[in-house]
Amino acid sequence: MSKVASEFQDIDIEKERKEILNAFKGLLRATKDRSREDTRMIRKAFDVAVEAHKDMRRKSGEPYIYHPIAVARICVEEMGLGATAITCALLHDTVEDTHITLEDVEDLFGSKVRLIIDGLTKIPEVFDENASIQAENFRKMILTISDDIRVVLIKLADRLHNMRTLGSMRADKQLKIASETKFLYAPLAHRLGLYSIKSELEDLALMYSEPEVYSKIENSLKSTKDVRNRFIRRFVQPIKEALQFEGYVFDIKARTKSVSSIWRKMNAKGIPFEEVYDIFAVRIIVDTPTELEKPDCWRIYSIITDFYQPSPDRLRDWISTPRANGYESLHTTVMSPTGKWVEVQIRSKRMDEIAEKGLAAHYKYKESKSEESKFDRWITEIRDLLENPDANALDFVNEFKANLFADEIYVFTPKGELRVLPNGATILDFAYDIHTDIGDKCIGAKVNNRLVPLSYQLLNGDQLEIITSSKQKPHDEWLRFVISARAKQKIKSSLNEERKTIAQDGKEILERKFKQHNIRLTAENITFLEKYFSMPSVTELYFRIAKGKIDLIKLRDIDAVHGILNGEKKTNNSTKDKHEKDVYPKINKSEDSIIIGEDFKNIQYQMAKCCNPIPGDLVFGFITISEGIKIHRNNCPNAEHLLSKMNYRCIKARWQSKDLVERVAAIQIMGIDNIGLVNRLTEIISKEHNVNMKSISFETEDGIFDGRIKVLVYDTDHLEQLMRKFEQVDGVQRVTRWDTEEDQHPQESH
């Protein structure tokens, strides 16, 4: 951004020096409540900066020092920051661009100023074009907030001034800086509660990225100004009179939407300017002592709604519960006499200042105890993290983010678009956030170019690309992966639809079978079957029939034994008991047997990770010291050891027949690598009706292909089917159950 002074001829150095001094005096005048100490420090910073930048000029030709002075002034006037921030703003470009070192800064201004300058120097001026690098830098930037919140505030002031003076830059640079401002800095300003800076940044970004759009909207706004003002005057008049009558000291502002927010609305709703331009907010700012803020705001609300009908679902009380970033205000939307909705924001002078200048303004208001403690807690959280010496940089960012943005995380689409999700969200939440169809068809995602399963939890700054398959469908298990209400609700409704459709198929199958066997289709007969197969509901019975989980060939035998289906009354408890004995001949009622799928009180069991048993496998239970009972396959690599050396801790186990839940099974596929093999395999999974992929990894070495897939299946039959299909793929040599290595060696944990 600098050029050597000698390139600019005919400059009146003396005149320039005077102008620079004037600019600095202007800065000092803007800085209220400064001590002599503060003034001395600010003056020293100015002297150092003037000297350091003395040979530098901005692209516009003006002396470079104007830029740090302007940045410092933004910090004072638009953010409400104090002497330390002013000092740092004046020095912000010295270490990066001049001979001044961080050590010099520390010697002259102390360690606090050094820390902030260091943070500022670490944030690159222009980010790389590569979108994922941008995300990476975004993370770095968040990291620097943790050193001192002023780092980010000064950086934003710096960016704002650069945007205001962007006109003298090269066109291609303008575009780049503008787009970066839009997706990195404006959201950041928003997050910190700097709403007016945010909208100015957005407007400036739009002005450079879409100059025609910008000037068109700007002109339209100018030409409709009179109509708008007339409307506002009429709308505000009765409120004004009533408030004056009640003796309030107040200010009413009616602000038109910014150019960029009009443009956003036009785009989002696909509507012309004419339908957007006259949507504006009226703000009533009341000057009142802290203890009267809340009652006064509500009193004013009551006065407004005496004149205009409010929309009941658009009342927002951020006075009782302020937003995380400190924003407080009472919002309502009322109907004007001309039939137009108008948003009215009611707040105190103090609240308005915080809303405009963000968190920094909190410093000024320490009267209110609760406020102070809230802000202090926030600062303390940052301090706590700083004092954690073991944390490496990345953990640190994540931890910090979790505390500061407690409920939100920021991720990017492949195009670099920023999306906000609740903390703990998975790729499924993200997919449903984009579109229901994308959620329903999601089979996985690439996060920062790495393939991850559906359950992957997103981290701040992740960039992700959702992978879909037209054959994918939501699964029960998905409900455990998602945390956003939207995703949950979408999955549930898809599942219900799906279940109903499948149950309908099952019902039709049963009707056909009844016909074949000459069995009457009556409610009694269906209820009999429901009980016979121990089903919790008729829908469940139909569902399982459709899934092939209930063998209807048995119908004939059942009928022959009981004669019930054809109406012969032979109900007899003993035959029923007898039957149950036949179906479960091996029930071992003794204590050392476990039936998997049954809810045992006080007995915890889980599937061993080494062999991932699924229903149909021959299994046994092993009693661990601290993790309850683990179920292993009889042919688990660990089984021999456990059964021979620790057989006193082994118990019999078997599957409960009605247990129809999805379980993890791991498959290894070996073969000759050829083009399209991976594709073919994933295609099989995605086309397979009931198979959900949990994780997948492929490796190729010297042409040998080694694929490891974890899938969710119901039982061994289900798994076998899938494995047979893999075997038929060209190039595949061997398909086996894969015993994961993690638990390979029997430890106490087995």
**629-633 and 619-623 as β-strands: parallel, antiparallel, unpaired?**
antiparallel
> Taking the C-alpha atoms of 350, 351, 357 and 359 in order, what is their torsion angle to the nearest 10 degrees?
100
For Mn ion, the closer CB: 93 or 353: 93
Question: Which range binds Mn ion by CB under 5 A, 91-99, 195-203, 475-483, 579-587?
Answer: 91-99
Report the nearest approach of Mn ion to the CB of residue 193 (Å).
23
Q: Is 211 exposed, middle or buried (0-12, 13-18, 19+ CB in 10 A)?
A: exposed
Place of tokens 């050392």: 592
246 labelled catalytic: no
Contact 314, 363 (CB under 8 A): no
Is residue 153 close enough to count as binding Mn ion by CB under 5 A? no
Q: Is 381 left (phi over 0), alpha (psi -120 to 50) or beta?
A: alpha
Report the nearest approach of Mn ion to the CB of residue 124 (Å).
12
For Mn ion, the closer CB: 158 or 662: 158
For Mn ion, the closer CB: 184 or 239: 184
390 labelled catalytic: no
What whole-number distance in Å separates Cα of residue 192 and Cα of residue 691? 45
The correct pick among 78, 118, 148, 158 for binding Mn ion (CB under 5 A) is: 158
List the x/- string, 523-552, binding to Mn ion by CB under 5 A: ------------------------------
**593-596 and 650-655 as β-strands: parallel, antiparallel, unpaired?**
parallel
**450-452 and 418-422 as β-strands: parallel, antiparallel, unpaired?**
unpaired
Place of tokens 């057989």: 647
Nearest to 563 by CA among 526, 525, 521, 509: 525
What whole-number distance in Å separates Cα of residue 730 and Cα of residue 691? 21
DSSP codes of every residue in 608-623? -TTT---BTB-EEEEE
List all residues 6 or more positions away from 512 whose beta carbon is below 8 Å from its beta carbon: none
Question: Which range binds Mn ion by CB under 5 A, 93-101, 210-218, 300-308, 686-694?
Answer: 93-101
For Mn ion, the closer CB: 77 or 210: 77
Sign of the CA dihedral 565, 566, 571, 574?
negative
DSSP codes of every residue in 93-134? THHHHSS--HHHHHHHH-HHHHHHHHHHHHS-SS--SSHHHH
What whole-number distance in Å separates Cα of residue 660 and Cα of residue 618? 17
DSSP codes of every residue in 485-511? HHHHHHHHHHHHHHHHHHHHHHHHHHH
Report the nearest approach of Mn ion to the CB of residue 89 (Å).
9
List the x/- string, 306-335, binding to Mn ion by CB under 5 A: ------------------------------
Question: Which range binds Mn ion by CB under 5 A, 157-165, 412-420, 434-442, 476-484?
Answer: 157-165
Report the nearest approach of Mn ion to the CB of residue 67 (Å).
6
What whole-number distance in Å separates Cα of residue 109 and Cα of residue 121? 16
Among 16, 38, 77, 97, the one annotated catalytic: 97
DSSP 183: I
User: How far is CA 495 from each of CA 468, 489, 490, rounded to the nearest angstrom?
Assistant: 18, 10, 9
Is residue 93 close enough to count as binding Mn ion by CB under 5 A? yes
Q: Is 637 exposed, middle or buried (0-12, 13-18, 19+ CB in 10 A)?
A: middle
Contact 666, 719 (CB under 8 A): no
**704-713 and 692-701 as β-strands: parallel, antiparallel, unpaired?**
antiparallel
For Mn ion, the closer CB: 158 or 353: 158
For Mn ion, the closer CB: 125 or 582: 125
User: How far is CA 351 from each of CA 31, 194, 355, 357, 367, rounded to the nearest angstrom?
Assistant: 21, 13, 6, 10, 13
- Which helix (H) or strand (E) segment is 281 a member of? strand 280-286
Contact 177, 416 (CB under 8 A): no
Report the nearest approach of Mn ion to the CB of residue 161 (Å).
7
For Mn ion, the closer CB: 123 or 354: 123
Among 16, 38, 96, 104, the one annotated catalytic: 96
Report the nearest approach of Mn ion to the CB of residue 395 (Å).
31
For residue 701, the tally of other CB atoms under 10 A from its CB is: 8
DSSP 723: H
Give the total of residues touching Mn ion (CB under 5 A): 2
Report the nearest approach of Mn ion to the CB of residue 191 (Å).
21
For Mn ion, the closer CB: 85 or 397: 85
For residue 705, the tally of other CB atoms under 10 A from its CB is: 20
Rounded to a whole number of angstroms, the distance between the first and last alpha carbons of the chain is 65
List the x/- string, 109-148, binding to Mn ion by CB under 5 A: ----------------------------------------
Report the nearest approach of Mn ion to the CB of residue 103 (Å).
21
What whole-number distance in Å separates Cα of residue 177 and Cα of residue 199? 16
Report the nearest approach of Mn ion to the CB of residue 75 (Å).
12
Report the nearest approach of Mn ion to the CB of residue 74 (Å).
11
For Mn ion, the closer CB: 1 or 483: 1
For Mn ion, the closer CB: 49 or 519: 49
For Mn ion, the closer CB: 150 or 710: 150
Report the nearest approach of Mn ion to the CB of residue 157 (Å).
9
For Mn ion, the closer CB: 62 or 343: 62
Question: Which range binds Mn ion by CB under 5 A, 40-48, 155-163, 215-223, 697-705?
Answer: 155-163
Report the nearest approach of Mn ion to the CB of residue 158 (Å).
4
Question: Which range binds Mn ion by CB under 5 A, 47-55, 143-151, 158-166, 250-258?
Answer: 158-166
Is residue 52 close enough to count as binding Mn ion by CB under 5 A? no
**Over the range 3-24, which residues count as b (16 or more CB within 10 Å of their CB) and which as e?**
eebeeeeeeeeeeeeeebeebb
Token representation of residue 63: 């002396």
Q: Name the residue whose CB lies closest to Mn ion.
A: 158
Report the nearest approach of Mn ion to the CB of residue 32 (Å).
24
For Mn ion, the closer CB: 152 or 351: 152
Contact 692, 712 (CB under 8 A): yes
Q: Which segments within 349-422 are labelled E, that is strand?
A: 408-412, 418-422
DSSP codes of every residue in 535-555? -SSHHHHHHHHHTT-S-TTHH
Give the residue numbers marked as catalytic. 96-97
Residue ranges that bind Mn ion, judged by CB under 5 A: 93, 158
